[in-house]
Amino acid sequence: MTYAGERLINDADSHLMELPDFLTAHADANTREQLPNLLDALTGQFDPQSYAGVVGHAPQVVEQLVALGDNLTKGPKWHDALGAFNTAERSQALDLLGFQRQVVFSSFCARLIFDAVNDDVAYGAAAAHNRAMAAFCNADTRLIGVGMVPLQDVSRAVAEIERVKALGLGAVWIPADAPGGRSPGHPAHDSIWSSLAEMGLPFILHVGSAALTIGDAWMNDGKSDTVSARGGAEVIGSKDLTSIHFATNRFVSTLVLDGVLETYPALRGGVIEIGAGWVPDMIRRLDHAVKIWGRSEPQLQKMTRLPSEQISQQMRFTPYPFEDVAQLVSESSSELYLFSSDYPHAEGGRDPLGRFSKTTESLTAIEKNQFFATNFQCLYPGG
């Protein structure tokens, strides 16, 4: 028996755990020395010396991890997990998990690339990242690798999107910033959105598309005994949780109000590992904005579909395991939400399927199947 059991499941969010040479081993010679130091981002996550020169776990460790069977998600996390950085192991992990398809993101590269010191470094690092992702994912057709593309230089962004497609990756991770100081709906970006739509590549806003933390000033409460859970990788604290979706909410809302989804109905987008409790309210606000501000902002009157319709048809979101999926569906639409395991990150918990099964109990059989399997096909047809 696999972890999925008899249920058909597509996993919208998992991760590979980079080793220190993840970028440099796949970089162009002329940019390799300029790349940000990935080892700094890995500090505190694992002992680099214990993984020096390795390509996978020792055979006896693999045997122990495989022996966990359908309890794999209860086993070690991060670099210690089965398939954390080795494709053959990840295939074994998928066999045990029983997922039909699994989307794979990197863990430590986003802010290194999106906050790079200049465009040469940003696009050089993105190219290296995308080659490395393809090397990890392309050996198993169940894996859908996600490339990364900064958007500030439109011509370089389009060129890298084309390379992402050529590498066989299945989606493009973008930052949640105003690209190059412009709204995402600026005409300068038309070639980005049209390229994604024509190539069938969804854009992805994932945790890491914007700064994870709320900012040091908000943590300065003057109390010496205050403790925060925030740490390395994607580990956030309680205050961070309250604001982690702000940048994504702003980006998606602006994209809709600028008419990008309306103009490119074949464009698809996913919001991953940023929670979904805020989504119904965002949709309501967008519908209100069009209905009310359409009187004073004539461009809004050109929409042939309400924002709620556009988002339902073109976007998908992953709730956190602690969020109530049935409540989200009742407040919006059953088409919007996707299952995710976050394997092998600790934030996914020891039993994401069990937790999501509890909060989908009151849904119909069709709605459950949408959440665990078929809504996934909006972003990844055939999955």
Q: Which of 215, 219, 213 is nearest to 236 (CA)?
A: 213
Place of tokens 């796949």: 26
- Judged against a pLDDT cut of 60, whether residue 233 lies above it is answered with no
Whether 5 is covered by a domain: the verdict is no
Mean of the per-residue pLDDT values of the chain: 92
**Residue 98 confidence class, pLDDT cut points 50, 70, 90:** very high
DSSP states of 145-175? EEEE---SSHHHHHHHHHHHHHTT--EEE--
Whether 141 is covered by a domain: the verdict is yes
pLDDT value at residue 52:
64
pLDDT value at residue 117:
93
- Number of structural domains the chain divides into: 1
- Judged against a pLDDT cut of 60, whether residue 11 lies above it is answered with yes
- Judged against a pLDDT cut of 90, whether residue 217 lies above it is answered with no
pLDDT value at residue 307:
98
Whether 148 is covered by a domain: the verdict is yes
Contact (CB, 8 A) for 208 and 248? no
pLDDT value at residue 206:
97
- Judged against a pLDDT cut of 70, whether residue 234 lies above it is answered with no
- Judged against a pLDDT cut of 80, whether residue 236 lies above it is answered with no
**Residue 253 confidence class, pLDDT cut points 50, 70, 90:** very high
The first and second tokens of residue 213, run together, are 């933390």
- Judged against a pLDDT cut of 80, whether residue 258 lies above it is answered with yes
The first and second tokens of residue 350, run together, are 């020891």
How many other C-beta atoms can be found within 10 angstroms of the C-beta atom of residue 143?
A: 22
Q: 182: which residues sit within 8 A by CB, 6+ positions away?
A: 188, 189
- Gyration radius from the chain CA atoms: 20
Whether 136 is covered by a domain: the verdict is yes
DSSP states of 191-248? HHHHHHHHHTPPEEEETTSS-SS--HHHH--S-TT------STT---HHHHHHTTHHH
Q: 36: which residues sit within 8 A by CB, 6+ positions away?
A: 23, 112, 113, 116, 121, 125
Q: What is the side-by-side strand order in the sheet with 269-272?
A: 10-15, 101-105, 143-148, 171-173, 203-206, 269-272, 315-317
Whether 43 is covered by a domain: the verdict is yes
Q: Using alpha carbons only, what angle is made at residue 146 by residues 96 and 268, rounded to the nearest 5 degrees? A: 110
**Residue 320 confidence class, pLDDT cut points 50, 70, 90:** very high
Whether 220 is covered by a domain: the verdict is yes
**Residue 367 confidence class, pLDDT cut points 50, 70, 90:** very high
Q: 179: domain CATH number?
A: 3.20.20.140
% residues pLDDT > 70 (the chain): 93
Look up residue 144 and give its DSSP letter. E
Q: What mean pLDDT comes out for the span 222-239?
A: 64
pLDDT value at residue 226:
62
Range of the domain at 82: 10-379
Whether 4 is covered by a domain: the verdict is no
Whether 2 is covered by a domain: the verdict is no
**Residue 225 confidence class, pLDDT cut points 50, 70, 90:** low
